[in-house]
Amino acid sequence: MTHFAIYVRRSYKRADAADVSDETQLAAAKMLLPPGATFEVISDSGGHRSGYSDDRVGYQRLIAKIRDGSVQGVAVYDLSRLARNARLMLSLRDELERRSVTLLIAAMPQTTFDTAIGRYVFLQLCGAAQLQRDLDSERMTGMMKSLFLDGRHRGSDPLGYRSARDERGVLARPRQLEVVPDEADVVRLVWQKAATSSTSLIADQLNNEDVARRPKKVRRADGSYSLVRDPWTRDAVKDILRRGRFYLGFVVEKRGLDERPGHHEAIIDEPTYNAGLIGARTRFRPGQRSRPHRLYLLRGVISCENGHPMHGACRMSRGQEWRYYVCRRCRVPSVPADDAERVVIEAVKKMTLPPRVIDEARAELARRLDVPSGDLVGAKRRRLEARLNKLPKLYSWSDLTDEEYRREMAETRTMLAELPDPNKLIAFDRNRHVMVTMAENVGRATRPQLAEAVQLFVERVQAAGRAVDPASIEWTPPARPFFDQAALLVRPRTDSNRRRRP
């Protein structure tokens, strides 16, 4: 008794998509079978099973049955259902001829492929299938390129957005993304946490705070679907951070190789993006060798009990680093760096900024911005922006590889993010709330930010034995009114008449 394999393939996911249905393919193939023949159905339908690749479970099963002699014939709706790749089709033909397996095609029911004419026709059909695949690929590539150049999003809806629909519930054309408020809040939260926390820590915090992820459809055994919310993972957080430029309002091609202004509304702003970018770049990355982090917050401001400057020193003991501040001019005990820095940071947290002083500081900033001076920051910003515009040209001229282009773009954007805001008054007003929550912000600050804060606020701190006395902290003249309430009535001294160090 002859046993046949009926192969069915549908490229698109939906059963009602513009493709030949499984039922139509099966009915047409069954009509080709000789009387009394048995058959089994091998399907590769749904999930975009491309005929260009042989990475298909059903196709591999079909090849295995041909090789072990389990089937004496193969029936398909048309040749393109088997493959749209000339190399795969020729290999399949060799297997069929070697095993003497009959090939039946519903679109050509009277054609046999074991004769000279049949082999020639088979080769022509292989070329036609390959041509159709190439044309479809070029058409899709061109369409995606046109959408990108027009600033339109391609692909599924990212977290924080959904495709807009009209009053009938039909997708708007052209496609337009609209912001989902709840999801947008999650995106902003992730980017705010990225400035000071790793992706693993952010995922743990989101799970602890019961922040829900977007539900996904999961198919049950009975064929129905249910919505499931997975917990936050490191990869889920990384996916949000990877789309940073998209959340700024750009559409991105090939993971950052090119970008265009998009039609969708931005979810995060430049300061949030820059802070998250700098925080991510300064943290340890897998695959990179970790370097000892020996940042001394009190460098240049701490002195020993005799008034001599102290310097940072590191010692290794029991496989651990121990940081100290030591004096190289007199024999005084070394001061543990962690304890000394903790005392100073706790004192900085007590800073208070009255609204009247903030208003005066803003007025002084506006006055100073009106004074003509060398715009070094602006010149550097213009150079970096010119570099960003030049890199795509260098890449298009093949002067840079993909890896070099991505690295150069990332480094240039990081340097731009580290520059001060060009409009300082706008930045001042935007960050006004930061000035009155010093304790909270110091708690979230990174070590480089803490070191910068110490240099701005602390003029001198003196050690007593192996500790630091908080009463010995001397604040810089501009910062003194904010730490000494009695000095609020006194006009702060300027840098020109500040007391010099002995």
The per-residue pLDDT for 51 is 74
Task: Please tell me whether residue 164 adopts helix, strand or coil conformation.
Answer: coil
- Report domain 3-144's class: alpha beta
Is there a contact between 118 and 110 (Cβ–Cβ < 8 Å)? no
10-residue averages of pLDDT along the chain (502 residues): 86 56 87 88 76 83 89 87 84 86 84 80 82 83 83 86 84 85 91 87 89 80 76 90 89 79 89 84 55 73 89 81 87 88 87 72 67 59 84 82 85 78 62 64 77 85 88 83 54 46 44
Question: What six digits make up the tokens of 457?
Answer: 């606020």
The per-residue pLDDT for 187 is 92
What is the model's pTM? 0.51
Q: Which of 228, 169, 237 is nearest to 207 (CA)?
A: 237
Whole-number Å distance between alpha carbons of 305 and 347: 20
Q: Note the pLDDT tens digit of each residue in 20-64.
A: 788 888 888 888 888 888 999 988 876 666 777 788 888 888 989
The per-residue pLDDT for 436 is 59
Q: Note the pLDDT tens digit of each residue in 303-331.
A: 998 888 998 888 877 777 888 999 888 88
Whole-number Å distance between alpha carbons of 188 and 184: 6
- Say whether 161-220+227-282 and 3-144 share the same fold: no
Place of tokens 């001599």: 308
Amino acid at 260: R
Is the CATH number 3.20.20.70 carried by domain 161-220+227-282? no
Cβ–Cβ contacts within 10 Å for residue 160, how many? 26
Buried b (16+ CB within 10 A) or exposed e, 441-477: bbeebbeebbbebbeebbbbbbbeeeebeeeebebbb
In angstroms, the Cα distances linking 437 to 202, 353, 442 are 22, 9, 9
Domain ranges (residues) in the chain: 3-144, 161-220+227-282
